[in-house]
Structure formats: structure tokens, C-alpha cells
Amino acid sequence: MRRTLLALPLLAIASAAHAQIPAAIAAAGETIVATWHAEGAQVYECKAGADGKLAWAFREPIATLLLDGKTIGRHYAGPNWEHMDGSAVVAKVAANAPGATPKDIPWLKLEVVSSRGSGALSGVTTVQRINTAGGRHEGACEKAGTFHSAPYAADYVFLRR
């Protein structure tokens, strides 16, 4: 009985955390391997769109992965996530959900398309980007080839089937 009572608060916490994930990016049946915080920038480039008009286009993320305030890896174009132990994954967007405010980049579900190494990221099949803050950049751009970095933060959840 005592073991059951101790487990109940943990189940409630896990359920509450899972309930906050929008259905569009849920990863039913998958197990969380790690959750890391990221701080960095979403980089945009001023370039001509299909209509020939200049507009800001997303180029790449540049972020530091953190655990308990310590750097453990990096996130960059691909998108790639690389742990300091040498393990890494590359993923592609499978689904998205809106950020909390119009200034926040969307929450994402990404499917891993390649991986390397036998460390912390080995066996990861899905990545979720949640709890986003900032990262969007809109407005007029006046010169093609110019860049803008929009600061952002997010949590990345790494899962395995």
C-alpha cells in the first residue's frame, strides 16, 4: 500500500505534464529519454519571395542545450541536436501547434531521420519542441541578404518508441 501511495503523486505529475502537450504534437506510446532547455536565436534572412517582394524567411536555429543551467550540447540547422558526448540526431517536422503568444514560435513534433553515436541521444525517434518563448520575427526587410536573430527559448523533449 505504501508503494502505491508514493507512486500516485508521481503519476499525477506525469499526467499533468502530458496533458499540457497539444494533441497535434503528442507522441502516444513513446518514452521520454530526456528533456533539455535551449536558449538561442532563430535566424531569419531577408530575401525575395515567390512574388518577388522582400520578406524575412526562416534560415536556421542556433541554440545551446542546457541541463540544470549547464551546457550539454547544441542545436543548429538541419535541424540537428548534438550532445557533448558526441551523440546526435537530425529530424524533420511532422506536426506543429501554436506557441502561447503570437511572438512565440510554434511547438513542434519532429521525426528523427538520422542519428549517430551511442550516447544520450542514441535510440531517440521523436523530438518535441515545447514551452517556446520568442523566436518570431516579422516586419519589413529592406535589403536582400541581411540577417536578423530573434532570441528564443524552448524545451526539447527527446523520445523513443
Question: Mean pLDDT score of the chain, rounded to an integer?
Answer: 90
Buried b (16+ CB within 10 A) or exposed e, 12-42: eeeeeeeeebeeebebeebeebbebbbebbb
- Report helix, strand or coil for 91: strand
| Confidence class for position 12, pLDDT limits 50, 70, 90 | very low
Q: Partners of 108 in the beta sheet?
A: 96, 129
Backbone angles phi, psi at 66, to 5 degrees: -125, 145
pLDDT of 4 higher than 80 = no
| Confidence class for position 25, pLDDT limits 50, 70, 90 | very high
Query: The whole model's pTM is what?
Result: 0.86
Please report the pLDDT score of residue 138 as a whole number. 87
User: What is the chain's Cα-based Rg?
Assistant: 18
| Confidence class for position 5, pLDDT limits 50, 70, 90 | very low
Calculate mean pLDDT across residues 105-124.
Answer: 98
pLDDT of 16 higher than 60 = no
Please report the pLDDT score of residue 48 as a whole number. 95
